[in-house]
Chains A and B, each alone.
Chain A
Amino acid sequence: MTTTTAQKPASGGRRLRLRVDLRQYGILGALAIIVILFQVLTGGKLLLPANINNLIQQNAYVLILAVGMVIVIIAGHIDLSVGSVVALVGAITAIAIVQWDLPWWGAVVVGLLVGALVGVWQGFWIAFVGIPAFIVTLAGMLLFRGLTLVLLTGGTINALPEGFVAIGKGTLPQPFGTMLGGHDVITLIAAIVVVIAFAASQWRARRKQLSLGLPVEQGGILVLRLVLTSVAVLFFAWLLSAHRGLPIILIILSVLILLYTFVLKRTVFGRHVYAMGGNLFAAQMSGVKTQWVNFFIFVNMGVLAALAGIVTAARAGGAVASAGNMYELDAIAAAFIGGAAVTGGVGTVIGAVIGAMIMGVLNMGLSILSVDSAWQQVIKGFVLLLAVALDVISKRRGPRM
């Protein structure tokens, strides 16, 4: 307390240094270490172009769920039902295509609507009746899994059309062919555009912060950060481009990440989510309509779970009742590994994405090493515990609130 009050207020043009958020960089560092570790352990197999493509496609569902889950967790709730919703939406979408003869895009719309309805149902009980989300979504976990079994009558639905399967497995066509010895042109161009856009936006944000006298990170650190991220993005794009065209799912994921980062950081809704997680009473006393915010958080989670369900069905090329089993735990783990606080109020979309990537790399690396799936679970369990323990311990050591 005394240190903050002792400092002089910012005055015209004085640069304030932002203390580096070690925790945020810590997760990134952990991801890098895990990637390098498995690259070495697998004798270079982890970063083979085909494996990178698989990594993205196999883990798309975690990323999508983690984006919704981190919002749920920031607001101080939990959602245990998303795995069952994945199965239910996969089944209904497949039925819509095969039995109702809907075009595949029509079936996707139906699937997303079902997800929204699921969210309305759960959001109603949580927000307006006041039943804890843990209970409502535990009930939903059983309910939606059961409904899926009823709909599929124990069987599976296969032979989904190509257009639908492409959502999960497809790549963009390669009208410009390849270059530099078989690297997809569109993927490389997309990577360069992303790098430039990211650098430009960071630079603009910094200039704005400087002009307002806001604290900024040191110029050197910013440059270092930009260089490192650019190198990483270009490197992975280079590897990926050697496989086939740009994966369609990667485009969907990028849009989601950008959209939800914006929603949490810049919208009134996002502001209310953080305010409620930080101090529910204070948010209520400030006039935040907490019931409606809670309701929409779960509607949103339902829609995202539906999208994950569609992606899962598309990748599998069919619907099975066991789809999405334990997905909720992957998503929850990703959010917590990515720095969301168990008590709510803290968390970012990008953190959850990195958390999901850590889980994904672990999955893939351990599979390549043909580690028994039983031991894979043990290892993932330890990683989750370690990540949250670090968070709790670092908070206890930090300045007391």
Chain B
Amino acid sequence: MDDTTILTMTDIVKEFNGIPALSGVSVDVRRGEVHGICGENGAGKSTLMKVLSGVYPHGSYSGRIDFDGHEVQYRSINDSERDGIVIIHQELALSPYLSIAENIFLGNEIQSRGVIDWDRTNKEAALLLERVGLDENPATRVQDIGVGKQQLVEIAKALAKRVKLLILDEPTAALNDEDSEHLLGLIDQLKDQGITSIIISHKLKEIRRVADRVTVIRDGSTIETIDMAEPDANEGRIIRAMVGRELSSMFPPRAPDIGEEKFRVENWTVHHPVDPSRLVIDDVSFSVRAGEIVGFAGLMGAGRTELAMSIFGRSYGVGISGTVFKDGEKISTRTIDESIRNGIAYTTEDRKRYGLNLIGDIRVNISAAAVSRLAKWGIVDGLQEYQVAEGYRTSMNIKTPSVATLTGRLSGGNQQKVVLSKWLHTHPDVLILDEPTRGIDVGAKYEIYGLINQLAAQGKAVIVISSELPELIGLSDRIYAISEGRITGEVSRADADQETLMHFMTAGKDDVR
């Protein structure tokens, strides 16, 4: 390794329970450059950074990492920080009730024999704040400053650790335009001061603005490293490298029978629950017809789940406005109960956290969303409940000896079938399925696709949210692309290919219309 290269990662392979997350990634980062890393959801970007920083210790992966002239074998995040590698995550890790200065030196206190030197701490903090261009008193509590400024505090904290390689994971995802612009400017300044940065981002425009070179990762492998100084290096080139994931599943045959409009949402707007000044969903309108499967494509943080949850009983967000129609009539979805009674069902992307009672058996999980259907005077008819659950166990092919099995003991695919059964038992007309095949094996995926087709064939309106573009293209009659809380494109099945979708999914909000 020559002196112009600060980091080389060679043939990194990392598996989880035998399933490869990284299958031979190689990256080299030059001293003093800004290096972009791009890839779809699940391409392996975060895993790669966790390998680099020692979150996954040496030995749990194979391959070689060289940093600053010699091979390194980090066992923890402390090891990598000692060498000057600092990651700033998308979810900021500051303590809200401590001051800016206290946060900057948290775990790295200026002290003698356990006693903190506050004068020096505040003075050093003020100098660091000047370096990152943040005009705030170091004694201000972190919770009293905005997210954009908090991001700068994180960078000041990294500088306090004498950072050599700064890694920023989706640094502008939570920032407004002004703060984003300031941050990108700061990254340029730090480059002039000799600090190398890796920036992971879905926002290709920003990548083009700051990055000197870009490495694209797809399906756990390095596709190529693009020198952004080359004349043909633009967003289109990056997108072409990002997409093209293999079609890993087969799709059951289906003859769509699409009827009248079933479900329509107009001018849907949602604000962030913690920071109400931030728009999460910005004036979104869409419709689904009876018997139609409509896909929603979007990268992490685009607002797909937020859109679905805000519609379903306003279970996400504040300051929600907009109108929901079913069969042409305006309906209210103000509470989850009301949404269910109006024939809407939503299966969550995180079934273990939001979808199932894992210490309850299959029977009580299936009846959970509509137990009053099985009850008279508040008393549950256990026999009928059993028969209903048993019926779904058979028709959905939930592989378990009886409905008395705890759902926590089922495989991911069978758990998802329980979740689907629960929602079918509410007799919905509109189903919103959020990542319906996440974390389940190929065979179970095929079965879930078959079930989704069946639901459409019964004349229900089906919405599928998925991070896997081949899945969306294989299933959907129509696909909406969503980016930064807005619908940036609508593609019919015939025109849908990964590159087109990715163009829409990475479009900034200024590119709309």
| A residues lining the B interface (CB < 8 Å) | 1, 4-5, 7-10, 16, 18, 208, 212-215, 266-269, 271-272, 274-275, 278-279, 281-289, 341, 345-346, 399, 401
Contact = CB atoms under 8 A, between A and B. Distances in A.
Nearest to B398: A9
A105 to B, nearest CB: 28
Contacts, number: 118
B379 A267 contact: yes
Contact of A279 (B339, B358, B402): B358
Interface size class of B (residues with CB under 8 A): 35 or more
Interface string B367-381: 111011001001110
A400 to B, nearest CB: 8
Contacts of A268: 371-372, 375, 378-380
Given A279-B356, A286-B369, 10 more contacts: A5-B400, A5-B410, A213-B390, A213-B402, A268-B371, A278-B360, A279-B354, A281-B354, A285-B346, A401-B359
Most buried by B among A214, A284, A285: A285
Nearest to A346: B359
Contacts of B372: 268
Contact of B386 (A212, A269, A279): A212
Contacts of B380: 266-268, 271
Contacts of A8: 401
Contacts of A289: 337
Contact of B358 (A208, A271, A278, A341): A278
A268 B390 CA distance: 19
A214 to B, nearest CB: 6
A213 B393 CA distance: 13
Contacts of B21: none
Nearest to A18: B404
B401 A9 contact: yes
Nearest to B346: A285
Most buried by B among A10, A214, A278, A346: A278
B340 interface: yes
B383 interface: yes
Contacts of B383: 208, 212
Interface of B: 313, 315, 335-337, 339-340, 346, 348, 353-360, 364, 367-369, 371-372, 375, 378-380, 382-383, 386-387, 390, 393-394, 399-402, 404-405, 408-411, 414, 422
Contact of A4 (B315, B393, B400): B400
Contacts of B393: 9
A73 to B, nearest CB: 14
6 contacts: A213-B390, A215-B404, A267-B379, A281-B353, A282-B354, A284-B336
Contacts of B358: 278-279, 401
A208 B414 CA distance: 27
Contacts of B335: 287
B357 A345 contact: yes
Contact of A10 (B401, B410, B414): B401
A285 B354 contact: yes
A22 to B, nearest CB: 16
Given A5-B414, A282-B368, A266 B336 contact: no
A283 B368 contact: yes
A52 B358 CA distance: 42
Which 4 residue pairs spanning A and B have beta carbons closest together? Answer: A278-B357, A401-B408, A286-B369, A287-B337
Contacts of A285: 315, 336, 346, 348, 354-355
A345 B402 CA distance: 21
A16 B357 contact: no
Given A208-B383, A212-B383, A271 B364 contact: yes
A5 B398 CA distance: 9
A271 B422 CA distance: 15
A269 B378 contact: yes
Contact of B357 (A212, A279, A399): A279
Contacts of B368: 271, 275, 282-283, 286, 288
Nearest to A271: B371
Contacts of A345: 357, 359-360
Given A266-B382, A401-B408, A282 B337 contact: no
Most buried by B among A268, A271, A282, A288: A282
Given A8-B401, A268-B378, A281-B353, A286 B364 contact: no
Contact of B410 (A1, A212, A274, A282): A1
B410 A4 contact: yes
